[in-house]
Amino acid sequence: MIILIQCKDRVGLVAAISGLMAQKNINIVSMREFVDIEAKQFFARLVCEQNRDPEILLSDLHLVLPENALIKINPEPEKKIILFVTKEYHCLGDILVRHHFKTLGAQVQCVIGNHDVLADICGRFGVPFFLITHEGKSKEKFESELLAAIKKYPNDYLVLAKFMRILSPAFVELFPMQIVNIHHSFLPAFAGARPYMQAYKRGVKIIGATAHFVTNDLDEGPIIEQQIIPVDHTYNITDMISAGKEIEKAVLAKALKMLFEDRVFVYNNKTIVFD
């Protein structure tokens, strides 16, 4: 049983939670907690042996926690995701392989692409592919077609696996903290388009990738995972892009793993990740 708690901080919260569990004869297998001192917010993730009705336990927890506490017990164990792609295959291919061998921790419902380049690989893995081109359409028309495809499947997250289109504020607002993007840069450096070219021209000594939630501030949503690798003067732009693709796969895979295991909390445009 997994229990997620977010609430106002106060003295004695850990004791109150563990005391309740002991009183109810619920064994805590692991407990991770964090306090944002400035925001006065408490976050906790518990793994417990399940021997109690979740609805009753939820009521009991509300009695010992501050008012308006956010509590989730046993979130959906296997998340459902929809992938958005354009032409680059490396992130999509990595996710499809993990999905095929049941190591992803989620079910890929379908893939939506604005080009047909990646339809074949989806077919090889038996995953539905929808071609929804943006060409010759208004953004409103394009996104209405995206929504029509999305509505065919239940989903917990939309994953932009190198989807090279900017979604409108109206679209993003429909999926608060449910859209995950992989950005080919160590944000906040080199936001926006062509970050590898920006990095190459700047002569950087490290490059990186960032997985983050999508908000209406371009490339400024809460960051879930980041990694970097060293580069030097011998790297040309092609070398940087090649190296970058490997780190993009690793960063997106790690971010999704944390999300699917319910290890990520969001507060004030930041994340708390219990790795």
pLDDT (tens, 9 = 90+) of the chain, 275 residues, equals 999 999 999 999 999 999 999 999 999 999 999 999 999 999 999 999 876 788 899 999 999 999 999 999 988 889 999 999 999 999 999 999 999 999 999 999 999 999 999 999 999 999 999 999 999 999 999 999 999 999 999 999 999 999 999 999 999 999 999 999 998 776 556 666 676 677 667 777 788 899 999 998 877 899 999 998 888 888 888 888 888 888 999 999 999 999 999 999 999 999 999 99
Q: How far is CA 63 from CA 68, 107, 177, in A?
A: 11, 36, 28
CB 73 within 8 A of CB 101: no
- What's this model's pTM, rounded to 2 decimal places? 0.89
Measure the CA–CA gap between 108 and 159, rounded to whole angstroms. Answer: 10
- Write down the CATH number for the domain with range 2-73: 3.30.70.260
CA distances from 151 to 145, 158, 216, 244, 263 (A): 10, 12, 22, 33, 26
**Dist. CA 53–CA 46, nearest whole Å:** 16
The alpha-carbon radius of gyration of the chain (Å, integer) is 21
**Measured distance CA(199)–CA(1) in Å, rounded:** 45
Q: What are the extents of the domains in the chain?
A: 2-73, 79-273
Domains 2-73 and 79-273 belong to one CATH topology = no
Q: Measured on CA atoms in the order 116, 120, 121, 127, is the torsion positive or negative?
A: positive
Q: What is the pLDDT of residue 51?
A: 67
What are the residue numbers of the active site?
Answer: 219
3.40.50.170, 3.30.70.270, 1.10.10.10, 3.30.1300.30: which CATH number matches 79-273?
3.40.50.170
Q: How far is CA 126 from CA 19, 52, 114, 118, 152, in A?
A: 49, 39, 19, 13, 17
